[in-house]
């Protein structure tokens, strides 16, 4: 509750700053030359192979390269890593980052809270979220009880938490969509993996993404309960990049560079799965076998693209249960237009 109030207050305070555009009379005294575009770019990512395009941007310095080629000179990119969408949203609202990445759910909540002053710049991936459990009695969402603790990146806000709500609504009826919420616990994916597989924690389930899901399933005590693709019956965009209206309007060339760089990263991943797996392990300092990561990248259910898919699965539900007050007519309404050009 406190987190929701904080996000709401922060959003109300910065909406005008995020969306401000100079309304100047042509030729009037307030008219001035457009400001120079930013030379320092701050981007946040989170944990998991969903964020591989951003890892490629970082490892290959694609934004820096393409900025030089676009005539923007030297652009410095600073990378931050957050454990959940709520933290990322707060960072964008407070002006501590320029672009944040995260799941669909927190991105939609931020779009609604800021009345569209924070919008989506591009999609990152289409990949299933995977719910694992060590409780042998749990075969489906209807089997969870107060004995269970389910780790998600952010309670009520993360895409994992929202997908649990949607699954609960399908199982128990929409009026009980939040039935599972009291049994969820906020933990970053790496910490949740350790908690689930150690056998020494209250955590009995973890709603996660790759590679954490596959690593957990190597433990004989862990089994898969369901995937988000099972809940909806089809693939969907999982993670996206969000920025502010102010950044988008003040940095048109840099925005084009970012989207171009993301498309280059996606194409490189598709063509170089083994090298992409090695890069992921190198940048994240992970110790998993390269064969595991490469196998995940060869999973046809996982693709990397800047174009969104089926975001309405989430926006329609959030609107129906009153979590967001505005319903986008189509998923393109949530995005700045550049990615569709």
Tally Cβ neighbours within 10 Å of residue 301: 12
Q: Does the pLDDT value for residue 7 go beyond 70?
A: no
What distance in Å separates the CA atoms of residue 26 and residue 179, rounded to the nearest whole number? 56
Give the Å distances, CA to CA, from 27 to 24, 36, 70: 8, 20, 29
**Domain ranges, residue 157:** 130-232
Same domain, 135 and 123: no
pLDDT of residue 85: 76
Average pLDDT over every residue of 191-203: 95
Q: Average pLDDT over the chain, rounded to whole? A: 90
Same domain, 183 and 330: no
What distance in Å separates the CA atoms of residue 164 and residue 176, rounded to the nearest whole number? 11
40-45, strands of its sheet edge to edge: 76-81, 40-45, 99-103, 237-244, 118-126, 303-304
Report whether 270 contacts 297 (CB < 8 A). Answer: no
Same domain, 99 and 242: yes
Same domain, 70 and 192: no
Same domain, 290 and 228: no
Q: Does the pLDDT value for residue 32 go beyond 70?
A: no
Residue 2 falls inside a structural domain: no
Last residue of a domain, one of 203, 232, 261: 232
For residue 77, what pLDDT band results from cuts at 50, 70 and 90? very high
Same domain, 269 and 305: yes
Q: Enumerate the H helices of 188-251 as residue ranges.
A: 189-198, 212-217, 228-232, 245-250
Q: Does the pLDDT value for residue 16 go beyond 80?
A: no
Residue 23 falls inside a structural domain: no
What distance in Å separates the CA atoms of residue 165 and residue 321, rounded to the nearest whole number? 10
| pLDDT, tens digit (0-9, with 9 covering 90-100), for 288-336 | 999 999 999 999 999 999 999 999 999 999 999 999 999 999 999 999 9
Residue 154 falls inside a structural domain: yes
Q: How many residues does the chain have?
A: 341
Same domain, 327 and 184: no
| pLDDT, tens digit (0-9, with 9 covering 90-100), for 236-293 | 999 999 999 999 999 999 999 999 999 999 999 999 999 999 999 999 898 899 999 9
pLDDT of residue 34: 53
Last residue of a domain, one of 232, 250, 278: 232
192: CATH? 3.40.190.10
pLDDT of residue 83: 79
- With a pLDDT cut of 70, the percent of the chain lying above it is 90
Q: What's the number of CA atoms in the CB half-sphere (13 Å) around residue 199?
A: 4
Burial class (CB in 10 A: 0-12, 13-18, 19+), 236: buried
Same domain, 241 and 333: yes
Same domain, 135 and 103: no
Residue 174 falls inside a structural domain: yes
- With a pLDDT cut of 90, the percent of the chain lying above it is 82
For residue 17, what pLDDT band results from cuts at 50, 70 and 90? low
Number of domains in the chain: 2
Q: Does the pLDDT value for residue 26 go beyond 50?
A: no
pTM for this prediction: 0.85
For residue 86, what pLDDT band results from cuts at 50, 70 and 90? confident
Same domain, 60 and 136: no
Q: Does the pLDDT value for residue 21 go beyond 50?
A: no
Q: Does the pLDDT value for residue 6 go beyond 50?
A: no
Residue 8 falls inside a structural domain: no
What distance in Å separates the CA atoms of residue 73 and residue 339, rounded to the nearest whole number? 23
> Long-range contacts of range 106-109, CB-CB < 8 Å, 24 or more positions apart?
106/154, 106/157, 106/158, 106/159, 107/240, 107/242, 107/334, 108/311, 108/314, 108/315, 108/318, 108/324, 108/334, 109/7, 109/157, 109/318, 109/323, 109/324
Same domain, 52 and 172: no
Q: Does the pLDDT value for residue 130 go beyond 50?
A: yes
What distance in Å separates the CA atoms of residue 283 and residue 230, rounded to the nearest whole number? 31
28-37, 150-159, 228-237: least confidently modelled range: 28-37
Last residue of a domain, one of 232, 265, 284: 232
Token pair of 206 as six digits: 């973890």
What distance in Å separates the CA atoms of residue 264 and residue 104, rounded to the nearest whole number? 23
What distance in Å separates the CA atoms of residue 331 and residue 262, rounded to the nearest whole number? 20
Same domain, 123 and 243: yes
């Amino acid at each position: 509750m406190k987190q929701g109030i904080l996000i709401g207050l922060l959003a109300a305070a910065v909406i005008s700053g995020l969306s401000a555009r100079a309304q100047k009379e042509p030729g009037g005294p307030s008219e001035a030359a457009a400001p120079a575009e930013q030379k320092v770019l701050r981007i946040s990512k989170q944990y998991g192979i969903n964020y591989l395009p951003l890892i490629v941007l970082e490892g290959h310095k694609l934004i820096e390269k393409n900025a030089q080629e676009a005539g923007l000179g030297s652009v410095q990119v600073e990378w931050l890593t957050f454990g959940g969408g709520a933290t990322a949203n707060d960072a964008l609202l407070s002006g501590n980052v320029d672009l944040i990445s995260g799941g669909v759910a927190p991105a939609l909540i931020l779009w609604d809270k800021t009345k569209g002053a924070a919008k989506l710049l591009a999609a990152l991936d289409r990949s299933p979220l995977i719910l694992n459990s060590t409780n042998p009695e749990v075969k489906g969402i209807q089997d969870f009880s107060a004995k269970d603790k389910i780790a998600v990146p952010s309670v009520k806000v993360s895409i994992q938490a929202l997908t649990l709500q949607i699954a609960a609504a399908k199982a128990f009826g929409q009026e009980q969509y939040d039935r599972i919420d009291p049994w969820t616990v906020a933990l970053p994916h790496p910490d949740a993996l350790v908690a689930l597989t150690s056998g020494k924690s209250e955590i009995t389930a973890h709603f996660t993404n790759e590679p954490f899901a596959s690593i957990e399933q190597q433990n004989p005590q862990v089994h898969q309960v369901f995937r988000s693709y099972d809940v909806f019956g089809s693939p969907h965009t999982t993670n996206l990049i969000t920025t502010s209206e102010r950044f988008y309007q003040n940095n048109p060339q840099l925005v084009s560079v970012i989207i171009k760089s993301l498309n280059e990263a996606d194409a490189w991943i598709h063509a170089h799965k083994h090298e992409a797996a090695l890069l992921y392990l190198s940048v994240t300092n992970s110790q998993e076998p390269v064969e595991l990561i490469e196998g995940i990248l060869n999973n046809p259910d996982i693709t990397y693209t800047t174009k969104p898919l089926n975001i309405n699965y989430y926006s329609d539900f959030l609107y129906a249960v009153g979590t967001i007050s505005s319903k986008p007519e189509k998923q393109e309404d949530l995005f700045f237009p550049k990615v569709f050009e």
